[in-house]
Structure 1
Amino acid sequence: MKKAKSGSGKPRSQIAALPIRRSPTGEPELLLVTTRTTRRWIVPKGWPIKGKKNHEAAAIEAREEAGVIGKAHKKPAGRYIYWKRMNDHFVLCKVALYILDVERRLEKWAEHNQRLSHWFTLEDAAEIVDEPGLKAAIRSLELN
């Protein structure tokens, strides 16, 4: 499989949610999901949605991929770059990460049978994800 950038040579933009809740002790926890193909742990992410602001699109991805509803912050909490696996090549993507303060979890959602999901401490989440940029972004999160 070859690596190929998007037509302009620039990375393609993606948006992602960082679904956050507080544990009973008040410690922040991050909800990760697995990819559908390789089963690696990631955050819910996707392409921008026409007619939606990026933070709104991130909230939609979180609902579809992780079954969580909440309020997305309007400004990105971080960014990272990674190679997205396509059918016959890879595409370089720059991901904007939006914190989603989780208010509730659905019993069923669009991809509940396609992905695993689990709440992790920020430290454990940073350890379990593969993408170096996502690891660094999780480690640099500053939550009140």
Structure 2
Amino acid sequence: MMLAILAAAAVAAPADLSWMAGSWAYEKDGVVTRETWLAPLGGTMSGAGQTNLPGKPARSEFMTITVAPAGLTFTAYVDGQAPTPFVAVPSDPGSAVFENRAHDFPQRVMYRRCGENLCAGIEGVAGGKPRAEHWTYSRVSAPE
């Protein structure tokens, strides 16, 4: 019985991240970064990201948040790389933090609501030095 309760709670977990759903954009110095998350359905959230640098081809990334044996897992699918999983670690309400300490960079992926915006970031160590990138996305459209 306890196993069934834990399994049900785990499947419902992405619903707690419904505040991420929608289309979001961030622009700085001519670089446009967009991220879109579908609302949770069947224990899964799916997302897509695109970064456009002036004069360069767009970079795309696909992401999922699912319940895996290791726990709630954010998986990044980047062209030319194997899928990279990041497992959720305890975080404050209204935020989600995922870690993969074995990954080169980043080792941490973070999302949180900041007012009407979606704040996101990646952190870790690259070349032996701490490195971080953060974005404050504005809503482009409401979730469907």
The normalised TM-score by structure 1 is 0.27
The normalised TM-score by structure 2 is 0.27
The higher relative CO (CA closer than 8 Å, separation ≥ 6) is in 1
